[in-house]
Chain A
Amino acid sequence: MTEFMKRLLKTPQGAIGILLVGLVMLVVVFGPMVAPHDPEALSPLSRYKGPSLSYWLGTDQYGRDIFSRLLIGARATVVMAVLATIAGTLIGALIGTASAFLGGRADELIMRTIDAVMSIPSLLFALLVVNLLGSSTINALIAVAIAFAPGMARITRSVALSVRKQDYVNAAIARGESSAYIIRREMLPNVVAPIIVEMTIRVSFAVMLFATLSFLGLGAQPPAAEWGLMVSEARRYMHLSAGILIWPSVAIAIVAVGFNLLGDGLRDALNPRT
């Protein structure tokens, strides 16, 4: 594990990715405790303020402190994205493994169906599901999880199939190991790694998908401090103060770049050949 961490930190992507994701996680855990202001406190006298000692990133159209809102909104944005990605990955991994295991006609049918589901753009799929269930944060989570499942199923299946053909699996079979042992000790460790890499990169897509749903009015609802919603609300006032638009955008970008870099770093660290 320590050796793995060393390999991860040696790649520039891994090091910067760990730094950014670590920073985001700190904000998720401690953000609400250290926020200097109440994120929903309106102060009509100090609207559209630029950055100052009291308001580090300035104030928005209602005089709310942008920095505090970002710190508190991290949970709504990042935690939801991570949960949705994990849920989507589990569903997808289950379908993908089952498909690879069943093989033959069943495999063909499942994969063709997955292809068909994937022909609906994931944003549109999420929009339909949220509209079906009603717009709320939990429903947005379910929508993103369902939208991610087919892609993850496809990846899991292809990884499982290629691992199944490896010599070390055949060697284990030749040694007379039990199926349970082969699946647990030989296949699983090699299937999990690429899935974790894909999952890490997908978190950044999930963050963007959540933000987009909120932006279109189908995710978090005002006055929540969700980052996508903050951008959406800022649109009408952006010519008065660019800060209300810029800072939530920067926050979204940091999370997305962080998880993307971490995913790339993990891929390099987990694959000794490159």
Chain B
Amino acid sequence: MIVYTLFVVSLIVFAITQILPADAAVMMLGENATKEALDALRQTMGLDAPVWQQYATWLWHVLQGNLGTSLRTGQPVGPAMFEALGRSLLLAVFSIGLMLILAVPLGIIAAIRRGKVADIVVSLVSYAGVALPEFVTATIAVLIFADWMKWLPPTGYVPLTENFVDGIVHLVLPVCVISIILIAHVSRMVRSELVDVLHTDYIRAARLKGISSGQVLRRHALRNALLPTITIVALDVGYLLGGVIVVEEIFAIPGIGRQLIVAIQARDLPAIQAGVLIMAATYSIVNFIADILYAWLDKRIQYD
């Protein structure tokens, strides 16, 4: 499954970069290079081979862990991309953590107090959350917390290993911005799942047995209502990766999103190929793990 996904993604990525109006040889030697020099370079780079042969060579190299050489910097793409991925994952993990801490309790409160003030407040907040794209919330957040209040630095990235406190301070705004949309979406999902579960017969049976409502919620309702959240969070990783691109660009975080934007603007084909492949792989692996986790937690589902 994952293998097929990555195979299709590699085809798409290779097809797109093939159609891109960028000639790798011209990019490396400049516009004024002689035709002989260009031809010689194309030959050494294998650019004169048929497309399928180029694809096979590229795929073979990727499978061996060689993602190619950047046309822009002349450095191998792989190490740079994975280093950037590490910084992005840090951002992503903090965002998902913050989201879970806030979204799950919000959803539970809204479901228990269905139709009451708390429910309406949570749903208003979630509508507001999905209404603004990341670049708008990020810009407004910088204006308020960095420009006006001067509480937090507007942009930049400090490695946690270098200066832990400073690193965390630089991560606060980006993490908050990324998690807003996730919180809005997941809290709504938790609410609707829990509302459905609370209307089932086994919950009614548990109540009739005389178990306290707190016990019913903890031991019967939440276990079933929170399971689908795993799948939803895994699918949201797609949004998360998209949001990471924008947020890294705005906050000048040297993660994989920013690497990709730079690569796309410079038409650095090997870097684009590697970046997209790594992002798709991240998404597939997260969803694969989520499926396994789900089957492990829910004994009714069995995968062969």
Contact = CB atoms under 8 A, between A and B. Distances in A.
Interface of A: 112-113, 115-124, 127-129, 131-132, 204, 208-209, 211-212, 215-216, 228, 231-232, 234-235, 238-239, 242, 245-246, 249, 252-253, 256-257, 260-261
A252 B133 contact: yes
Interface residues on B, range: 35 or more
B133 A112 contact: no
B139 A238 contact: yes
Given A121-B238, A124-B260, A127-B264, A253 B128 contact: yes
A161 B174 CA distance: 41
Interface in B1-45: 1, 4-9, 12, 16, 19-20
A61 B99 CA distance: 37
A124 B132 CA distance: 18
Nearest to B124: A257
B131 A253 contact: yes
B5 A112 contact: yes
B249 to A, nearest CB: 7
Interface in B41-97: none
Contacts of A215: 133, 135, 246
Contacts of B242: 121-124
- Interface of chain A: mostly helix, strand, loop or mixed: helix
B240 to A, nearest CB: 8
Contacts of A261: 127
A242 B276 contact: no
Given A123-B245, A239-B147, 15 more contacts: A117-B8, A119-B283, A121-B238, A121-B283, A128-B276, A228-B133, A232-B135, A234-B139, A239-B143, A245-B143, A249-B136, A249-B140, A253-B132, A256-B131, A257-B127
A129 B276 CA distance: 13
26 contacts: A119-B238, A119-B283, A120-B12, A120-B279, A121-B279, A123-B246, A127-B264, A128-B272, A128-B276, A131-B267, A132-B16, A212-B246, A215-B246, A216-B246, A216-B261, A231-B135, A231-B139, A245-B139, A246-B140, A252-B133, A253-B128, A253-B131, A256-B130, A257-B127, A257-B128, A257-B131
B158 interface: no
A123 to B, nearest CB: 4
Select the residue from A124, A204, A232 with max chain B CB neighbours within 10 A: A124
Select the residue from A113, A116, A238 with max chain B CB neighbours within 10 A: A116
Interface of B: 1, 4-9, 12, 16, 19-20, 127-128, 130-136, 139-140, 143, 147, 238-239, 241-243, 245-246, 249, 260-261, 264, 267, 272, 276, 279-280, 283-284, 287
A121 B9 CA distance: 12
Given A128-B272, A215-B135, A242-B143, A117 B12 contact: yes
Nearest to B137: A249
Contacts of A209: 133
Contacts of A132: 16, 19-20
B133 A115 contact: no
B143 A118 contact: no
B285 to A, nearest CB: 10
A177 B13 CA distance: 47
A245 to B, nearest CB: 6
B279 A124 contact: yes
Contacts of A212: 133-135, 246
A124 B135 contact: no
Contact of B5 (A115, A245, A256): A115
Contact of A128 (B246, B264, B284): B264
A105 B246 CA distance: 39
B181 to A, nearest CB: 9
A87 B284 CA distance: 27
A119 B135 contact: no
Contacts of B147: 238-239
A260 B130 contact: yes
A211 B135 contact: yes
Contact of B131 (A118, A121, A204): A204
Contacts of B280: 116, 119-120
Select the residue from B6, B136, B139 with max chain A CB neighbours within 10 A: B136
Contacts of A256: 130-132
A119 B284 contact: yes
Given A119-B284, A128-B272, A238 B143 contact: yes
Nearest to A16: B127
Nearest 7 CB-CB pairings of A with B: A116-B8, A123-B242, A208-B133, A121-B242, A256-B131, A116-B5, A253-B131
B114 to A, nearest CB: 13
A114 B200 CA distance: 34
